[in-house]
């Protein structure tokens, strides 16, 4: 990709109309460009054949599509595929060799794409490999969308989850731009029900996301107890899980939009009936669901995984007390694509030597 040119991918139809106007093209050309991008997924401007040759040459002199193919992929024995995507990043300090991991998870007639929004992460959750990488840059809206745009299995995607590398609320402008394009009539025209955005809970950013988007929200809980959650997740100091739930109570999750809580189970640590009772008390009256997740060990972290029996007991107790709960199947663990295992730190180090 020519880094001297501006990128079209990630721009809305309105922004593309301004691009057209700035180049002396008719405003409706912006809508045509949007169709070529988000409906036809062209790779080159010269493929936009309903623009005149002169206009295509003019556009190509200043802009490029911005699509970047994955640099590598790993395939799991369970069908999961982990892709390595190059990214531009919006931060000047980020080196041009930055990359993120994206996970494609097929499951019968469904296929989930887990996208990243940052290189690394600032949240430093104890159990997460991405957090050990540290934060290295924010992805642009184009970087986020490219994980869909340039995915070989793009046409099979049924839903997208922002649960890859990074904290979505910490890069909210780019995340909102990307989700807006995914749901806009002149973008991908997806239903917001196909998109879930996760968060540890960042007060003002989470409120803004809930106000400006209709996509599903998934909150990383991992413990209903303040001190224990703080030990696992430093973000608890800034916004407690109780404060997060209080904020969520101001929004309607009784119709199309869904609220869920992610809960990694650690054996003998957060998988007791005491925790189950506290979860029920915490979310009482809030329309939500809980997803129990197996812990996948990471180097240097001495946390035990919960066994299947304890997770089943926890699920059954929560469900019996009115909190719809599932145990999420682990996928892609053999290629380090499962929850909490994504990192590109070594790849960056290799790229700079």
Helix (H, G, I), strand (E, B) or coil at 79: coil
Helix (H, G, I), strand (E, B) or coil at 75: strand
Catalytic entry in 114, 121, 128, 339: 339
Question: Has 339 been annotated as catalytic?
Answer: yes
**Angle CA(324)–CA(330)–CA(335) in degrees, nearest 5?**
155
Question: Has 284 been annotated as catalytic?
Answer: no
Residues in the chain: 353
Rounded to whole angstroms, what are the CA distances from 12 to 44, 47, 139, 144, 177?
18, 19, 17, 14, 8
Strands 195-199 and 216-220: parallel
Q: Is 252 left (phi over 0), alpha (psi -120 to 50) or beta?
A: beta
Catalytic entry in 64, 89, 101, 167: 101
Distance CA 277, CA 283 (A): 10
Distance CA 182, CA 113 (A): 13
Any residues with CB less than 8 A from the CB of 28 and at least 6 apart, and which?
Answer: 17, 20
- Whether 237 and 230 have beta carbons less than 8 Å apart is answered as yes
> How is residue 54 written in tokens?
């002169």
Instruction: Please give the span between the terminal C-alpha atoms of the chain, in angstroms, as a whole number.
Output: 22
Give the phi and the psi of residue 146 in degrees, each rounded to 5: -60, -25
| Catalytic residue IDs | 101, 339
């Amino acid at each position: 990709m020519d880094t001297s040119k501006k990128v079209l991918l990630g721009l809305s139809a309105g922004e593309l109309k301004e691009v057209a106007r700035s180049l002396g093209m008719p405003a409706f050309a912006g809508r045509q460009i949007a169709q070529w991008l988000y409906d036809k997924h062209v790779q080159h401007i010269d493929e936009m054949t309903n623009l005149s040759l002169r206009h295509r040459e003019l556009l190509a002199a200043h802009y490029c599509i911005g699509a970047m193919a994955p640099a590598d992929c790993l395939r799991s024995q369970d069908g999961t595929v982990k892709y390595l995507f190059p990214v531009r990043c919006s931060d000047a300090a980020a080196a041009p060799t930055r990359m993120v991991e994206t996970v494609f998870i097929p499951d019968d007639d469904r296929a989930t794409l887990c996208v990243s929004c940052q290189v690394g992460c600032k949240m430093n959750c104890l159990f997460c490999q991405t957090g050990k990488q540290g934060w290295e840059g924010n992805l642009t809206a184009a970087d986020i969308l490219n994980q869909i745009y340039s995915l070989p299995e793009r046409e099979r995607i049924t839903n997208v989850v922002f649960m890859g590398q990074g904290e979505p609320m910490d890069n909210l402008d780019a995340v909102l731009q990307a989700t807006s394009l995914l749901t806009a009539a002149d973008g991908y025209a997806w239903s917001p029900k196909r998109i879930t955005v996760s968060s540890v809970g960042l007060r003002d950013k989470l409120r803004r996301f809930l106000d400006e988007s209709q996509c599903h929200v998934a909150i990383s809980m991992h413990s209903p107890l303040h001190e224990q959650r703080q030990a696992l997740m430093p973000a608890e100091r800034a916004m407690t899980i109780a404060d997060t739930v209080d904020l969520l109570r101001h929004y309607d999750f009784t119709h199309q939009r869904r609220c869920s809580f992610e809960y990694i189970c650690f054996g003998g640590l957060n998988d007791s009936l005491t925790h189950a009772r506290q979860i029920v008390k915490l979310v009482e009256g809030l329309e939500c669901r809980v997803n129990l997740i197996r812990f996948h060990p990471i180097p240097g972290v001495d946390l035990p995984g919960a066994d299947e029996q304890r997770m089943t007991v926890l699920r059954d107790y929560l469900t019996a007390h009115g909190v719809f709960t599932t145990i999420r199947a682990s996928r892609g663990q053999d290629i380090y694509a499962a929850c909490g295992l994504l990192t590109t730190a070594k790849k960056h180090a290799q790229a700079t030597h």
